[in-house]
Amino acid sequence: MRRKFLTIKEKINYIILSILIVVLVLISIKSFFTNSPEVVKEPKIQKTSPQKETLVHTPEQFGANGFDNEPDTEAIQKAINSGNTVILKSGATYIIDETLKSSHSINIKTDHSEKAKIVQKKNKSALIVDNQPVVETYVTKQILTNQSFVVLANTKGIKPGYLLHLKSSKLWYWDDRGYLKKGELHKVIKVEGKKVYLDRPIVENYKVGKEERVSASIYPNISLQLENITFTHPKPLKTIMLKINYTMNTNIENVIVKNSKRIGILLDTTYQTFVKKVFIDLGTTKDISSGYGIQDYGGTETLITDSVFKRIRRGVDFSGGTPSRYGIVRNSRAYGNKKGELASGNSGFGTHSTAEYITFENNYVENFNYGFLVRGRNITVKENILKGYSISFIAITYGNNVKVLKNTYHSINNSSLEMFILFLKTYKGTIDVQGNVVNSLKGPFIKGDIGQLESLILRKNTIQSK
């Protein structure tokens, strides 16, 4: 039989017909599964980190009341664990009997302008934000001042935006306690092989080798946002109310802390923390050796502004296991007891050995033994006002390069300073004193052995002796 061959036209028609049949079959299959009652189309859920996705909860979703006398600890903790934003009811009083904890970024605020209150009934902290390291390693090559990177033994798991804490085996300068170390805190901006590039130049020299070992701890980027909340105990207790560890870009605004006699807010090695319009009243007594409204412990670039501190041994203290750096306190007020009524060394504001590049400006201080206490390097105290009963405007004990510029002391009820500046024999650095006004002074302007100083600058200071 003679085989019949298709013409070109017939072949084209055959191909088109085949394609149409396939398309119709696919449409039928899709229609069947779409309309079938047995098949449920699941919503698309994008899994993101808490920093990228906002998950909002209220304690009331988990059984809290906020207007009774029952503990709300479990409900608030469940709200914290379930997302990154917790909304408290304005005007509510939440009672807790354990410490609230978070290891991820968290935003706690109110639904309206009136504050919510969290009452910690036990002798414990009210809130701890505790970031844990993802990498623990060490530096393998010498680091020079102003270097932009460090070389680490292990960089696996380190990402841009993470926090890098360097800690040396060497003691920090002028330390009199034997355990405070050289070190610094940085933000990672890039990782190339074993090199980790940093957001700002290195501050110290590190002679890595047998002479000096430098550990490197790397933390993920988490933050705390607190707004419009009161934290308190029913009565003054020897506690730290808020502990915030290794966070970045934390913001604390319009917050009240009461009755934690040791420390109101502890910022432990935090990066770029902003505190504004806080009111702290600790109820500190003479048996308390800390009594800090806020302690910045090894932080970098902390800014505290427009805040008020009462019944404290010191409004703000900068110190740390490694140095606190680049901190500023401005436009804030500290009210103390008359001299001698709190533990020794009490002051309106101050630094505590491991601190440098710290500035106190345009603050108001009343009473305390000393208006300002300085133990650190590159500390500037400028345009502040001290009133009332104090030994001296400033006391300087350790460090170098202290500047005292355009400050004023005013008498209250015939009070007088015993001296304007007191420096101890342990201080041998430079002091720059210019443009200060002392309205009532019954002793020397400066007390200390001037011959031991590296340099002393005195210019345009106005003194009225009693």
Q: Give the type of residue at 291.
A: G
Regarding whether 238 and 212 lie in a shared domain, the answer is no
Closest CA relative to residue 394, chosen from 336, 458, 350? 350
DSSP string, 41-104: -PPP-----TTTS--EE-GGGGT--SSSSSB-HHHHHHHHHH-SEEEEPTT-EEEESS-EEESS
CATH of the domain at 143: 2.40.30
pLDDT at residue number 47:
32
Domain tally, the chain: 2
Regarding whether 185 and 293 lie in a shared domain, the answer is no
For residues 50 and 104, the answer to whether their CB atoms sit within 8 Å is yes
Per-residue pLDDT band for 29 (boundaries 50, 70, 90) equals very low
pLDDT at residue number 425:
95
Per-residue pLDDT band for 252 (boundaries 50, 70, 90) equals very high
First to last CA, the chain: 135
Regarding whether 459 and 365 lie in a shared domain, the answer is yes
- Residue at 23 is within a domain: no
For residue 53, what are the CA distances in angstroms to 47, 56, 83, 161, 214? 8, 10, 9, 17, 36
pLDDT at residue number 68:
95
Average pLDDT over residues 156-162: 98
- Residue at 232 is within a domain: yes
Give per-residue pLDDT as tens, 380-394.
Answer: 999 999 999 999 999
Give CA–CA dist 245/277, Å, rounded: 21
In the sheet with 229-237, reading across from the earlier edge strand, the strands are: 93-96, 116-120, 229-237, 256-260, 279-281, 308-310, 333-335, 364-366, 385-387, 408-410, 437-441, 462-465
Of 6-10, 248-252, 406-410, 417-421, the least confident:
6-10
Per-residue pLDDT band for 3 (boundaries 50, 70, 90) equals very low
Share of the chain above pLDDT 90, in %: 85
Give per-residue pLDDT as tens, 363-412.
Answer: 999 999 999 999 999 999 999 999 999 999 999 999 999 999 999 999 99
- Residue at 159 is within a domain: yes
Domain housing 282: 123-131+222-465
Average pLDDT over residues 295-322: 98
Regarding whether 127 and 146 lie in a shared domain, the answer is no
pTM above 0.75, yes or no: yes
For residue 242, what are the CA distances in angstroms to 115, 118, 238, 275, 432? 17, 12, 13, 13, 36
Give CA–CA dist 157/318, Å, rounded: 31
Regarding whether 358 and 255 lie in a shared domain, the answer is yes
For residues 433 and 421, the answer to whether their CB atoms sit within 8 Å is yes
**Single residue among 168, 194, 219 that ends a domain in this structure:** 219
Give per-residue pLDDT as tens, 336-359.
Answer: 987 778 999 999 999 988 999 999
pLDDT at residue number 33:
36
Average pLDDT over residues 174-188: 90
List the structure tokens of 191: 């990782």
Q: Give the type of residue at 311.
A: R
pLDDT at residue number 54:
78
